Amino acid sequence: MKNFRIVLTFLLGIFLIVSCGTPSPFGGPVYDSEGNLAIDRVKIDDFLRTAPIDSLYRVHDPTGVVIIVQEEGSGAKPSSGMLVYSNYTGKLLDGIVFDTNREDIARENNVYDPSRNYRIFQFTLGTSETIQGFNLGFRQMKSGSKGILIIPSPWGYRDSGTIPGVPANSVLMFEVEFLGMD
C-alpha cells in the first residue's frame, strides 16, 4: 500500500508538470501573430481595392506591410543602424487620425496634446525605438520619398488596446515623409 501511494504521488506530480505547459511571461494568452496577420491581409486587400490612393508604385512586402510610394525620393534606401528622420500622421483605415508628430495636424484632428513636444520624428532603423512596421516600411523607401505605410496589427500595436484612439488589433495607415537619414 505504501508503494502504491508513492507511485500514485509520483504519477500525479508528473501529470501536473506535463499538463501545465509554459505560461505566457505576461500572464495572458500568447499573441497569435500569424492568425492576426491572415485576418489583416484580408482587411488590407479589401481596403486597397476601394481606397482612392494615388501612387507611383506599391510594394507588397512579404511581411504584410504595404508601402505606397506617392513621391519618389532621390536618396538611397536606409540600412539597419541608420538614423531615420520623418514626419508622419497615423490613421486607422477609416481615416481617423490617432497620432502625428506635426502640431498643425494634431490640432486639426483633435489629437493635440499640449504636453507633447511636436518635432521631426527620428528612430534608428532595425531597433525597437518604434513600431516594427516602420522598420519594415522605411527599408523599402528612398530618402526624400513621400508615401503611405499600411501596417498589419502584428507589426503595429498588436492587441495592446492602450494607445488612445487605436482599438486592439488595428491595421494602421501612416502618411510619411522620409526627410533624411544619418
Give the list of residues 6+ apart from residue 87 with CB closer than 8 angstroms, or none: 101, 102, 120, 121, 176, 177, 179
Q: Among positive and negative, which fits the CA dihedral 71, 75, 79, 82?
A: negative
Task: Report pLDDT digits (tens) over 138-153.
Answer: 999 999 999 999 999 9
The answer on pLDDT for 161 being more than 80 is yes
For 131-144, give one letter per residue: b (16+ CB within 10 A) or e: bbbbbbbbbbbbbb
Distance CA 179, CA 78 (A): 12
Backbone angles phi, psi at 71, to 5 degrees: -135, 125
Contact call for residues 158 and 169 (beta carbons, < 8 A): yes
Q: Which of 61, 35, 72 is nearest to 132 (CA)?
A: 61
pLDDT at 8: 41
The answer on pLDDT for 10 being more than 80 is no
- Average per-residue pLDDT in the chain? 88
Task: Report pLDDT digits (tens) over 37-96.
Answer: 999 999 999 999 999 899 999 999 999 999 999 999 999 999 999 999 999 999 999 999
Contact call for residues 105 and 89 (beta carbons, < 8 A): yes
pTM for this entry? 0.83
